Amino acid sequence: MSNILGVSAGFHDAALAVISEQGDILFAAHSERYSKLKNDPNISSELIEEIRQFDPTVVAYYERPWAKQLRRLYAGEKVDLQSLTVKQILQKQLGSKFVWDEIYSFNHHKSHAAAGFQTSRFSEAAVVVIDAIGEWDTISIWSAEYINNKAQYKLLWRQLYPHSIGLFYSAITARVGLKPMEDEYILMGMSAYGNDSFVYSLQKDWLHDIDTIKFKQNLHLGMDPTYLDQLDNFDLAASAQRFTEKLITAVVSKARDLSGSTNLVYMGGVALNCLANRLLGNYFDNIWIMPCPGDAGSSLGAAALIYGKQLNWKTAYLGHNIPGSYPVESLLTALLTNKIAGVASGPAEFGPRALGNRSLLADPRGSRIRDTVNNIKQRQKFRPFAPVIMEELANNYFDLPSGFSTSPYMQVVAGCKNPQDYPAIVHIDNTSRVQTVGKDGSGIRRLLEAWYATTGCPMLLNTSLNVKGQPMVNDLADAKNWSQIYNIPVFS
């Protein structure tokens, strides 16, 4: 078997991933980083050119197109007759640049499941997938294990459209005036400022049954903009977050009971809710969330299903490479002098979080740093930033929740033990979305070591090198342009 190309495209945050016949992840990247269109649903021509070097001849598509179009018909949406088959979609998305020996497609939720399980260290696990919607599935629970070195998946339970936790959260996102399918993380940040006393009202108004996650209405088209209009938006956000946590934990509890496993793989767009993720350790001992759990990550999942075995997962740095040594000394000098500096070096991160290769970094100790960085990124002033810290020091400064001994991909919030000392990286509730970095020799690790040795401060503020509504910086030209526009040095 030659190199395998995984494709996620046509709906939200298109991506490509390439796996070798030895199970190495050769490349994985978001189309938006090339096209400069946030959440671009289509594969950009520049991304196509980048993967030609791998010469893939086997292709895997992340969902069943005909099933998706059937669901669209059921939902009263317009059916795309030019997207009924994978060949039609590949022709539309990739053109005639490749000759395929083999073409496959897989169930949307199974692609999510494989992206998680086959990158995990587990030999067996319960797999939970929660998103807005796949073809028909909105929630699924699987048992996964390796039998004769081949990944096997058994569907244990599922919920179908229109009963969807993801659609509920997106509907609330729209209700408070944010952009659904994009600004859900802002709603999550808003929740810390509100009163969550309206959880019962939400459950009474929208839910038939929490055990089966059955909603009273189809929220695909949103909710009445006057719903609970007497509520402050922050109170609605807080109540919606707590209600969503009740729904998620009901699913996770069911997964534990049905699977009997102590290992959890959690995937789908809802897995990006790092506030809810703090509760997962109440049900499972060991937790793995692949750093790109949404639809983009399913490009890797579809390819993994063809490969069939455990992948050689090493890092989330899988995208476009800016060659050269990580600029530790330049960054250290800039941070000591100006408190803020950008970095664009090495392979780009696969997933929505900047992990040190496409980051805006800052000293977390200053009282004005958070406002300064929010102004640069053109974000709301209430929004928090994440700290990046050496793994072995993390427990001295943060209370990581059970199930998370480390947090290398910023997937969970933790209480900060000394929030007064690091005001730029704590939210109003004194929590932080922590990134821990092990002794992996990475550039961000070496920078943290130098920063700690020089200042005695164990952490840096780390946020993505972009501004609100725009994709992260991808290449050298992006970095230079960003630096010129926002007057912040970016080192490569």
* pLDDT tens series, the chain, 492 aa: 689 999 999 998 999 999 999 999 999 999 999 999 999 999 999 999 999 999 999 999 999 999 999 999 999 999 998 889 999 999 999 988 788 999 999 999 999 999 999 999 999 999 999 999 999 999 999 999 999 999 999 999 999 999 999 999 999 999 999 999 999 999 999 999 999 999 999 999 999 999 999 999 999 989 999 999 999 999 999 999 999 999 999 999 999 999 999 999 999 999 999 999 999 999 999 999 999 999 999 999 999 999 999 999 999 999 999 999 999 999 999 999 999 999 999 999 999 999 999 999 999 998 899 999 999 999 888 888 999 999 999 999 999 999 999 999 999 999 999 999 999 999 999 999 999 999 999 999 999 999 999 999 999 999 999 998 899 999 999 999 999 999 999 999
pLDDT at position 33: 98
Measuring CA to CA, which residue among 369, 436, 358 is closest to residue 397?
436
Taking CA 474 as the corner, what is the angle to CA 447 and CA 370, rounded to the nearest 5 degrees? 55
Strand residue runs (E) in 65-136: 102-105, 124-130
| 3-class state of residue 447 by DSSP | helix
Cβ-Cβ contacts under 8 Å for 53 (sequence gap 6 or more): none
Distance in angstroms (rounded) separating the CA atoms of residues 327 and 325? 6
Q: What pLDDT score does 1 carry?
A: 66
What single string gives the DSSP state of each residue in 157-192?
EEEETT--HHHHHHHHHHHTT--TTT-HHHHHHHGG
Closest residue by Cα to residue 352 from 292, 278, 267: 292
340: enclosing H helix or E strand: strand 340-344
209 Cβ neighbours under 8 A, 6+ residues apart: none
What is the reported pLDDT for 383? Answer: 86
Q: Residue 109 corresponds to which amino acid?
A: H
Model's pTM, two decimal places?
0.97
Cα–Cα distance, 250 to 417 (Å, whole number): 30
